Structure 1
Amino acid sequence: MAMQQCRERSATATVACGRAARELGLRSREFELAVQLGHVRTVSAPGGRPRVTREEIERHRSGEGFPESLRNRLWAVGTAEAAQLMGVSPARFARLAKAGCFAPVRFYVNRYRAVVWHYLAADLVEFADANPELLTGRTPPGLRLELEGRDDQRARSWRARRLDQLTGRTAEPWEQAAAVAAVLSPDQLADAVPDPYERAYVSALRPDLAGIRSDSAAAREVIERVTLAVAVDEIGRHRERLALALDAARAVRPAPRPEGYAAAAPAREPGGGAREDSRPDLAAGRVLEPKPKSEREREPEREAGGRDARRGRAEAPAGLRAWLRRLRLRG
């Protein structure tokens, strides 16, 4: 009995990600990629930091071919190495990559503020085996025109891949909605999620798609161009997906909001549509109006000249983000 309890405790024990990476023989970026791709599963710990169970580490360590088998699945290559791996020229590889024939797995911004893409070697080998006619000789004219006529699909295919990773890692409906919302600009998100408390909650849960930190405003602008959808059709698909995710989340539980607040109906134009400038704007400090109080509740406020009511309304915008921050930490 004691031995069984010891094994159970060992299986559920967790270690920090840095230690897990060392025990799995992975460098930091390899470990991050392993988590993104779902090869190494993490669990949430108090404080929000992910950890890795001993059981997960032992699952890999006892696997056939460890550690080479795990590292091979995480082998990511740049354009030059990818072209060499596929046996094609860098120009041909770039044309296939821009056409969206395979999705990048990660990127970084170099010192010239250019995006450098990396691809999984396993994806490239799979594509090469399935499409040998695209690797040698002249590309058929029709296909060549189709490939060259497409806009650069690398950022778009990376976003799609990243969203699939993030939504597949959580079953929590609001977190899934937040993952989809992460590729929408603030303006698009405001249109897609008009309720400011839902929008604030989704924004608080939004994951960091790229995981890249930079002190350079120019580099951050480049990263934003990669992470945010820009094409009308892509934005439309993500908004449809977000609407479905929000419906599923609302069916489970509503977005949290302070007690005493209810959604205020937006002002209407004479033609029946909502005025654009009447939408509640969390960033500008406008929040939902409080629910009407009963006569008994309003009597002390009238006697005090309404000072308490005015003070309560003035404090709500300033405290809203702090409230959301505390809510997220508790979750």
Structure 2
Amino acid sequence: MTVKQALRAHTVAQDADTKVRAVRARTRGARVNGTSVRGDARTGDVGTEPEGEGVRTASAAPAVTVAAGRAAQELGIRRAEFELAVHLGQIAVVGVPGGGRPRVHEEEIARLREQPGFPDGLAERVRTVGTAEGAALLDIAPARFTRLARAGCVSPVTFYLNRYRAVVWLYLADELAAFAAREPDLLAGRTPPGMRSTLESGADWRPRNWRSQRIDRLLNRTRDPWVRAAVQASALDPVQLAEVVDDPYERAYLVRVRPEPVFGRPGSLAAREAMGQLMLADDPDEILWRRVNLTLELDGARADRPAPRPGEDGATRAATAVRSGADTRGGTGLVPFAAEPAPPPADAGLSTSAAKAAPTGKGLLARLGRRGRGTG
């Protein structure tokens, strides 16, 4: 560099330093006078705006959100993996005012990208396997894997329909690895007698375990008492629901606020029909368990607010939005919901005479009715 070039560079640096000092001085003066400073990065001009109501400052600016497809691309996962991660509560989403598909905050994407092992870590946490791949992961025969799944040792997280419209269950690879570490004795040797008798009776716990986990995760994403009641009601068919909830307005409201899959129902008609069938409890003790839970949640919902009547929909919908506005966001921001314990036997704590008696009081058992599918 020549002497002239050095002097020219020094002069430019001094000019820039003078401008920076001037900007800082104006900023301090603006803060004293109750104004905010707005700089134009492209031109170097600085302007001022009065602070107060109706003016957005940098701290009050709304967070930027992106669509699910773009979020999946930025996280390096497939769309199906993204939707499963949302269902599992690993990715937080926010609802869109007036309806529409949920969106993702850019801060949430940045948080996930900063996690150790990104992007492979997130993809691995939502990796699912079928029977053959799951058996290979556990180093057992596929037939033994199927027996373990039917006996309820491992629970499916999702499913799809094959070309024959048969349900194909999928399992989280992480959960299978945890099961192998927790129960190594079940992977080799003879099947325990209790499990063998369960399998010989034709039991298959896969649909029931899928329902239980699905309900638990939906409950974990909402605090609204009516939505929680609707989640429990989703496992009962219309006849069972009418026996527990005799008010038609309450039944209609439960259907209206029932949470749907975050990104819509399965695409094909066959998949929707399969989803509808799998969501319904089909065992007497499971039905009783869901009726008990629905009754308890319904008591809390009625105490919180009544179900809307004709002409009250607008006000009630607004109240619901205020109460559960943050509940559309999955993940760690919500109060955790304890995992559901194993449902009690059908006759536990309930005598045969009480089970068959017509409801004559206002107690829990009377309101349950104990009529319906599989209960005699």
Q: State the TM-score, normalized to the length of structure 1.
A: 0.73
Question: Secondary structure of the equivalent of 1:44?
Answer: coil
Q: Distance in 1 between matches of 2:208 and 2:37?
A: 54
Structure 2 vs 1, CA of residues 272 and 134 (structure 1 numbering), >3 Å: closer, same or farther?
A: closer
How far 1:183 moved relative to its partner? 1.2
1:273-288 correspondence runs (5 A): none
Superposed CA offset, 1:207-239 (max 9, x none)? 3469323234xx554333311111111011111
Partner of 2:241: 189
Q: Is the 8 A contact 1:95 1:148 kept in 2?
A: no
Question: What amino acid sits opposite 2:78 in the alignment?
Answer: R
Partner of 2:124: 72
Q: Is the 8 A contact 1:109 1:223 kept in 2?
A: no
1:124-273 correspondence runs (5 A): 124-149=176-201, 151-208=203-260, 211-216=265-270, 220-259=272-311
Q: Distance in 2 between matches of 1:224 and 1:215?
A: 11
Question: What amino acid sits opposite 2:282 in the alignment?
Answer: V
Q: Distance in 2 between matches of 1:177 and 1:2?
A: 50
In percent, how many aligned pairs have the same letter? 52
Question: Secondary structure of the equivalent of 1:116?
Answer: strand
Partner of 2:81: 30
Residues 206-215 or 127-136, more deviating:
206-215
Residues 137-146 or 80-89, more deviating:
137-146
Q: Distance in 1 between matches of 2:127 and 2:114?
A: 20
Partner of 1:121: 173
Q: Distance in 2 between matches of 1:272 and 1:23?
A: 56
Q: State the TM-score, normalized to the length of structure 2.
A: 0.64
Gaps of 5+ in 1: 261-270, 275-331
Q: Distance in 2 between matches of 1:33 and 1:272?
A: 42
Partner of 2:348: none
Q: Distance in 2 between matches of 1:116 and 1:108?
A: 5
Question: Secondary structure of the equivalent of 1:45?
Answer: coil
Partner of 1:286: none
1:52 to 89, 92, 104: 104
Q: Which has the higher contact order (CA 8 A, sep 6+)?
A: 2
Q: Distance in 1 between matches of 2:359 and 2:218?
A: 39
Partner of 1:90: 142
Question: What amino acid sits opposite 1:224 in the alignment?
Answer: G
Q: Is the 8 A contact 1:96 1:147 kept in 2?
A: no
Residue-pair matches, total: 261
Structure 2 vs 1, CA of residues 200 and 131 (structure 1 numbering), >3 Å: closer, same or farther?
A: same
Q: Distance in 2 between matches of 1:180 and 1:141?
A: 34
How far 1:145 moved relative to its partner? 3.0
Question: Secondary structure of the equivalent of 2:215?
Answer: helix
Gaps of 5+ in 2: 1-35, 39-55, 313-357, 362-376
Structure 2 vs 1, CA of residues 140 and 153 (structure 1 numbering), >3 Å: closer, same or farther?
A: closer
Partner of 2:67: 16
Q: Distance in 2 between matches of 1:161 and 1:272?
A: 31
Q: Is the 8 A contact 1:104 1:119 kept in 2?
A: yes
How far 1:2 moved relative to its partner? 7.0
Q: Is the 8 A contact 2:265 2:272 kept in 1?
A: no
